Amino acid sequence: MDTSLGQVIKATVTDENDQYFFAQVDGLTYEINKSELEKPLKLGGLVTGFAYTNDQHRLQITKNVPDVQKDQYAWGTVVTSRHDLGTFVNIGLPNKDLVVSLDDLPTMTELWPKTGDKLLLSIKEDNKDRLWGKLAQQDIIQAVSRQAKLGAGIKKGDQIKATVYRNKLVGTLVLTEDYQLGFIHPSQRENEPRLGEVVTARVLGVNDRGTVNLSLKPLAYKLMDDDAQFLLIQLQRKADHFLPFNDKSDPEAIKAQFGFSKSQFKRALGRLYKERLITQVEGGIELTAEGQKD
């Protein structure tokens, strides 16, 4: 196994042709593309760069050292996927994409990353000197993350971006732009986001472990018809969140107050009750704690 692959090495320059310089270390010869050099290398001198096997299966050293290396994790951008192999990730090499094996991807292919998605990964080498992408596991995610705290730059209702790093039956695990751990319960999404997808989510709160609870669902009022939205806004604008109206109220009084019929009013009430945003109290209706959040 060539243990120099996937990391920065120093090699001795031994030869050149029109396109490449050649350098050796431990009996192996690497090519260095002249097009990426600011000035020529000297025969017999040392060259420092990142060692890898290029897309032509030849050993190469590049001066364009990627952030992703062996035992060094960084973000890569998904280029494409092949169902018989895995997902190809651009880590910044001139002529090589790193493959994350299908064995390391979700069982359901619809949850595989798509072009433009982001993966946090390092490099691993197999016994045939092939380099593969190694996805960051929970211990790495924990090491690079930081605890969230409400009021410290984050509050309920905030819209934040986060990247999916693991799909589990209990929910979706994400890492926010500020490297805070996030969790999306299945009840807080319409569809399960795929691995590597960058989502925009709403903050529901922060648990006692410093993980941000997130939702991909729109606010309840955005799902309602105009009448229900209007009634909800009226309640939210009241200091006591109370209105002296219910489904027994006089139609004319309803019309004068809200501008719509009693049947419209009752439908709006029904929708707000269903969403658990209001409750009926003596003499009228008032917002629940959930209704006050929205």
pLDDT, one tens digit per residue, over 268-293 is 888 888 888 889 888 899 998 887 76
3-state DSSP: the chain helix, strand, coil percent, rounded to 5? Answer: 20, 40, 40
CATH class entry, domain 8-62: mainly beta
Q: Which CATH number fits domain 146-215: 3.40.50.620, 3.60.20.10, 2.40.50.140, 3.40.50.11540?
A: 2.40.50.140
> Would you state the structure tokens that stand for residue 97, as one six-digit string?
């994409």
**Burial (CB count <10 Å: 0-12, 13-18, 19+), residue 104:** middle
Taking the whole predicted model, whether its pTM rises above 0.85 is answered as no
Q: Which CATH superfamily is domain 74-136 in?
A: Nucleic acid-binding proteins (2.40.50.140)
Give me the pLDDT at residue 224, please: 61
Could you give the 3-state DSSP secondary structure of residue 123?
strand
| 222 band by pLDDT with thresholds 50, 70 and 90 | low
pLDDT for res 98: 96
With a pLDDT cut of 90, the percent of the chain lying above it is 64
With bands split at pLDDT 50, 70 and 90, how would you rate the model's confidence at 21? very high
Domains 146-215 and 221-293 share a fold: no
Distance, CA of 132 to CA of 153 (rounded, Å): 37
Write down the domain spans for the chain. Answer: 8-62, 74-136, 146-215, 221-293
The backbone torsions φ and ψ at residue 52, rounded to the nearest 5 degrees and listed phi first, read -160, 175
For the segment(s) 221-293, the CATH number from 1.10.10.10, 3.40.50.300, 3.40.50.150, 3.40.430.10 is: 1.10.10.10
